[in-house]
Structure 1
Amino acid sequence: MTFNGTWELNMKPLGVWCVCALLLCCWCSSSAARAVFPAPQNVTIQTLNMNYVLKWDWDPDQARDSAHSVTFTAQYLAMFKTKKPKNKQDWKSVCESTPEHVCDFSSVQLHYLGMWMLRVRAQSGKNVSSWVMKEFCPDRDAVIGPPSAVNITPVIGLLQVAISDPLTITNGSMKEWLPNMYYFIQYCKKSSSAQPNNLTSANNLVVLPELESWTWYCVRVQSRDDYYKKTSVFSPTYCTQTDGQTPSWQIVLYFLLSLALSFLVLVGLFMCTFRVVKVVKSTFFPSVPLPAPIQEYLCDSGSSDTPRLLSTEQELENCCDTLDLLTPDPEVTEVTEVILEVHLPPESSQQSGRTRSRHSSCDSGVYSTEGSGPRQSELGEMKMEKLGRKIRVEELDEGVQDVSV
């Protein structure tokens, strides 16, 4: 009894130990299976000012047996939180399940003076690798860049160098985080094998001393900070020429050239103006005048210089008439008004269809006129009256009539 009772009592602790051993084996086997999946290798951080990029290597042959593609997850956490187990859930993912082998932490804007812990792992389906940790302090580990811009200006035989600070991710100045940053300047003559001259300055505006006038110099600048021995790469090399006082012979030469150029310009303008005036004058005021008969019939009267247009057929016929002015009889001392009437035969009146009359006023004189239209064999009788007196009209050859008073 005692043996059997003792045996029964001893069997209960033995079963408990078996169950615990079985659970421990299962957990160890699962942990071993999880640890078998390889982790990323050669984890590094590439930095420039406040740009931080986490990179790692991965061999595709390490997960050849996996049926799923391999992805990666990268996280960060402040260093002081990693020492407390309850804060381990505060890890923040920047890149999650990405197939790339790089993750950019610049957008997170990690504090430049803080201490951070970065980590990355690989996963493929249910297979997950262990985390690869990386400690990072931007103030200590981040690399500073060269000046963002360098401008060189000649100033009275010297060179003035304007330097722009390196920029942060928000386009701010890196001097906000590195107040002791300064610049290392190298300059030398262009195409010269001599040792370059060196100059250090914390100012953004530097004047290079002891330079030769009218000489080409090349300049490059480097950013430096001595606290963590940070040194940037050199900026691109910029070359420019110094100036100086202009020699007197050059001043005289420039003055003579300017005078010659001004003279040529004035001559050219004068010639152009003369040609334009000549063309305008020859166009609107021709040198050969029109014949006197044409000018007489193109004007309204003998004293008018305004030309008139021939608009009717009758006026075109009148252009062919001839006018003769005869000397008046001395016996006639005063004529105030002369009325000239022309009576045509019936057949002539049918052709012309009109009767012309002309009125004129003058102190004294005799008028001669020739009818327009076709020549008539017989000219009608003309009667002229002036204050009750009749004037005789004599018929001339070719249809020209003399009127005498």
Structure 2
Amino acid sequence: MAAALRAALCSGLLLCASGMIPKPRNVRITSVNLKSILQWDAPRFPKENLTYTVQYKSSSLRGDAPRTLRTGLRQPRCDVSALSPYVRYTLRLCARAGPRRSRWATLSFRAMDDTTIGPPEVRLRSEAGALHVDFSGPFAQRQQEGWPLRQYYGSWAYRILYWRDSTDTQPGSAPRVSQVDTTHNSEVLSQLEPWTLYCVRVQAVVPELNKSGELSTELCEQTTHNGVTPVWITVTVLVGSMLVMVTAVTAGFFCSFYLYRLAKHIFCPSYVFPQHLKEFLSKPASAPQPFPPVAQEELLVCDELTVLAEPPQTPSEGSGASRTPEHPQDSAQGDSDSGLGTASGEA
């Protein structure tokens, strides 16, 4: 190792002595979602006033001369996102120190093939025994466009990986990972065990290029009931409902009867009808009505009156008999007295 270090130091001293600048080392491109950055390591050169020049050339045009993308760069990096993502380019760069420059370091690059597809944004929710997975993106970051990457590729799909959480599995056994591919932005994962914790990760896939993106952050959610009601629960609910209904009807009947009796007692109290009025009203209207008893003294006042006819008088007595009393009242009084006397004698 010491020998290699001495050799490198000697070669650097020889280059410096001859005035040549070594070319940049470890040229590479870091590209994520079409955001492409060209990077390199600075050459071993004692002077610090080095600048860099980056040029590009389309690989499909052989006679096309290289074009300068950036010049006078002080830092060992250059943003090449402005280049078309559909064209393959040959990039080259050199280091300059005044009028002198290094040899060109070249690199072939096509953004569509070489960029890394980032993870999509994923939302996970549990509902009715299934997992609902929604995802979007990733989005292009070139020139601040913010378009979805799927607009740049001819084919696009999402791959969903899901498995039971390791805490629910037996110790020492690896979880069984299931896979679902879809071209839509959402998917429903069914046929899952209820009340079980599942974890999900999603990545974008470009089938025509056999290219897969980065996996999203792991999301875990517990499933709920699968919506199938057991028979015993149905029977229990049915029997319970019938018991509640019968109890409610019975209680309502007794409460209504009690309230009826209470209202009748308050507003229509019980009354015993007199017996003699019952007997009186029970007889028909045509029957003779009884009269109250008459006092004994009143019975003694009513006597039987017998009127006797006066025998015919003789002509000798006719003069006196034919004489009419002067006053009618005296005659009536006399008759009355006669009647009374006769009645008294009969008695």
TM-score bucket of the superposed structures, by smaller chain: 0.5 to 0.7
State the 1:200 CA deviation.
1.6
Cα contact 2:85–2:112 (8 A) shared by 1: yes
User: What does 1:329-368 align with in structure 2 at a 5 Å threshold?
Assistant: none
Worse-superposed segment, 237-246 or 196-205: 237-246
Q: Distance in 1 between matches of 2:60 and 2:205?
A: 30
Tell me the secondary structure at the aligned position of residue 97 of structure 1: strand
Give the distance between the partners of 1:168 and 1:242, measured in 2 at CA.
34
**Which residue of the partner structure matches residue 345 of structure 1?**
none
Q: Percent identity?
A: 29
Partner of 1:156: 128
Asked whether the equivalents of residues 53 and 68 of structure 2 are also in contact (C-alpha less than 8 Å), the reply is no
Structure 1 partner of 2:67: 91
CA distance in 2, matches of 1:140, 1:217: 34
| d(CA) in 2 for partners of 1:194, 1:138 | 36
| Contact 1:143/1:230 (8 A) holds in 2 | no
1:168-227 deviation line (CA, Å, top 9, x unaligned): 121111111123121221111222342122222222111112112232211001222232
Q: 1:33 Cα deviation (Å)?
A: 5.8
Q: 1:63: Cα distance to partner?
A: 1.4
Q: In the alignment, does 2:204 pair up with 1:223? A: yes
What corresponds to 2:290 in structure 1?
none
CA drift of 1:40 comes to 0.6
Provide the rounded CA distance (Å) in 1 between the counterparts of 2:207 and 2:130.
Answer: 29
Q: Give the Cα–Cα distance (whole angstroms) in 2 for the partners of residues 180 and 99 of structure 1.
A: 40
1:115-143 CA-to-partner distances (Å, cap 9, x unmatched) read: 22211110112221122122212222222
Secondary structure of 2:103's aligned partner: coil
Name the structure 1 match of 2:103. Answer: 130
Residue 105 (str. 1) matches residue 80 (str. 2): yes
Pair 1:74-2:54 in alignment? yes
TM superposition shift of 1:144: 1.8
After TM superposition, the score normalised by the length of structure 2 is 0.54
Partner of 1:116: 89
Are residue 189 (structure 1) and residue 164 (structure 2) matched? yes
Match of 1:243 among 188, 209, 224: 224
**Which structure has the bigger radius of gyration?**
2
For residue 274 of structure 2, what is the aligned residue in structure 1? none
Whichever residue aligns with residue 203 of structure 2, its letter is Q
Structure having greater relative contact order (Cα 8 Å, sep ≥ 6): 2
Cα root mean square deviation, aligned: 2.5
Structure 1 residue identity aligned to 2:187: V
Contact 1:165 1:174 in 2 (8 A): yes
8 A Cα contact 1:79 1:117, kept in partner: yes
In structure 1, the residue matched to 2:280 is none
Which amino acid in the other structure matches residue 49 of structure 2?
A: S
Q: Which residue of 2 aligns with 1:29?
A: none
- 2:138 alignment counterpart: 166
One-letter identity of the residue aligned with 2:219:
Y
Deviation string 1:44-71 (CA, Å, 9 cap, x unpaired) is: 1111121111111224xx312x4x5222
Distance in 2 between residues matched to 1:166 and 1:138, nearest whole Å: 15
Report the equivalent of 1:56.
40
Residues paired across the two proteins, number: 206
State the distance in 2 between where 1:229 and 1:97 align. 39
Residue type at the aligned position of 2:127: V
Shift of 1:230: 1.2
List gaps (5 residues or longer) in structure 2. 1-16, 238-347
Residues 184/175 of structure 1: CA separation in 2 closer, same or farther (3 Å cut): same
Q: Which runs of 5+ in 1 are unaligned?
A: 1-31, 253-405
Structural mapping, 1:234-383, within 5 Å: 234-244=215-225
Alignment-derived partner of residue 46 in structure 1: 30
So what's the TM-score if we normalise by structure 1? 0.47
Which letter does structure 2 place at the counterpart of 1:209?
S
CA distance in 1, matches of 2:79, 2:111: 14
Residues 162 and 179 in structure 2, CA contact (< 8 A), matched pair in contact too? yes
SS at match of 2:209: coil
Tell me if 1:143 matches 2:116.
Answer: yes
1:145: Cα distance to partner?
A: 1.9
CA gap of 1:165–1:179, structure 2 versus 1, over 3 A, is farther
Cα distance between partner residues in 1 of 2:219 and 2:154:
26
Distance 2:130 2:94 in 1: 57
Task: Give the residue type in structure 2 aligned to 1:41.
Answer: R
